Amino acid sequence: MKAKFRLGALEIDVEGDANEIATVAQSLSRRATTLALNPGPAEEESPATDPSGNGVPEPPPIPPAPPAPSDSSTTGRLPDARSFFAQHTPTNNREATAVAAYYLKNIAPAGERSSTIGKDQLEAVFKEARWKLPSRIDQTLVDAAGAGYLKRVETGRYEISNVGHNLVIHTLGGAAENA
C-alpha cells in the first residue's frame, strides 16, 4: 500500500501496510500541529539578495546535520541503552520496545547487536536502560508489533519495521533536531 502526505512544502511518499501508514499519518499530524503552534520566521522577514544585486534571493543557510546516533566520533564510544533511552524518551512500553529493537540493531556494542529481538533481549535492554519491566514482556512485543513498530519474523522473534525506525529517529526525543 502506498500513500502520499504533504506537510507545507514537504511531500512524503510512504509505502507499507495500513498500520504503518496510519502510524506515519499520526506522527505527521502531531508534527504539523507542533509547527502550527510554533511557526518559524516568515520568509518575507529576510529579503536577502545575491551580491550582484539582481534581486535573486539567496537560499537560506543549511544547518549542519546532527551526528547519527551511532556516530562515536565526538564521544569516542557508543551510547549505552540507558543514555539512548534518555535521548529518545519513549512514553510507553510499545515505544520503549521500538527503541530497544533499534538500539539492538544499530547502536549496541558489536558483540550484542542483533537484527531481531525476543523477550530475553528486550528484558536485558529494559534492565540496562532502567525501564520498568512490564508484567508480560512477550505481550509487550506483540503489542509493539500491533502498533506497527515491529514485524514478526518467527514465533517470539521480531525486527524493527520502517515505522518503528522512523518513530525512534524522527519522532521520539529531538523531533525538532531530526525534522
The whole-angstrom separation of Cα 142 and Cα 132 is 18
Would residue 48 count as lying in a domain? no
- Structure-block grid coordinates of residue 127: 534492565
- Please state the domain count of the chain: 2
Res 19: pLDDT: 74
Residues 115 and 27 in one domain: no
- Structure-block grid coordinates of residue 34: 507542533
Residues 26 and 87 in one domain: no
The whole-angstrom separation of Cα 145 and Cα 158 is 8
Residues 16 and 87 in one domain: no
Would residue 55 count as lying in a domain? no
Residues 101 and 27 in one domain: no
Range of the domain at 9: 2-33
* pLDDT tens, the chain, 179 aa long: 777 777 666 677 777 777 777 777 777 776 666 655 555 555 444 444 555 556 666 666 766 655 555 444 444 566 889 999 999 999 999 999 999 999 999 999 988 899 999 999 999 999 999 999 999 999 999 999 999 999 999 999 999 999 999 999 999 865 444 44
Buried b (16+ CB within 10 A) or exposed e, 143-179: bbbebbbbbeeeeebbbbbbbbbbbbbbbbbeeeeee
Res 38: pLDDT: 55
Would residue 72 count as lying in a domain? no
- Structure-block grid coordinates of residue 82: 540507558
Residues contacting residue 114 through CB under 8 Å, at least 6 positions apart: 104, 105, 108, 121
- Structure-block grid coordinates of residue 90: 519513549
Taking the alpha carbons at both ends of the chain, their separation in whole angstroms is 24
Would residue 19 count as lying in a domain? yes
Count CB atoms within 10 A of the CB of residue 59: 8
Res 66: pLDDT: 57
Supply the CATH number for residue 152's domain.
Answer: 1.10.10
Residues 86 and 162 in one domain: yes
